Amino acid sequence: MGDRVSGQPLPVKQICPINIMFSRVALPFAKQAVRVNATAPRMAIRAFSAQTFLDRAEVHDRVLNVIKNVGNKVDHSKLNEKAKFIGDLGLDSLDVVEVVMAIEEEFVIEIPDAEAERLLTPAQVIDYVAAHPMAK
């Protein structure tokens, strides 16, 4: 956005349409804004709408299916949203790590270790995935 010969920024009058008038107070700020904005790097911002989140019913079915298929250690009759991985479902800590890894793979997300330690039941996993904007 500079003059081709000197490389200096163009005056505001040459950049802005003629019908836009600036007051004496606003003109210095406008010139500064044009100079700053012309050289400032652009950053992309990703915004999420309500449509980017998966339906909870779909997440529920997929999570329970993943848990059923991890190592075939879970008694399907005991599997429900409120059952605890360690205890009710008979999984040990390594099995829970496998469940978390399988969930990450299924929904193409990454669950930080601190969050994974708080996921003790299928319901907590379902809520976490349903609220995750990147889950697919």
Residues labelled as active-site residues: 92
Contact by Cβ (8 Å): 100, 111 = yes
Residue 93, strand partner residues: none
Phi, psi torsion values for 125, nearest 5 degrees: -65, -45
For residue 94, give the 3-state DSSP assignment: helix
Degrees, nearest 5: CA angle 95-100-101: 95
Phi, psi torsion values for 37, nearest 5 degrees: -70, -25
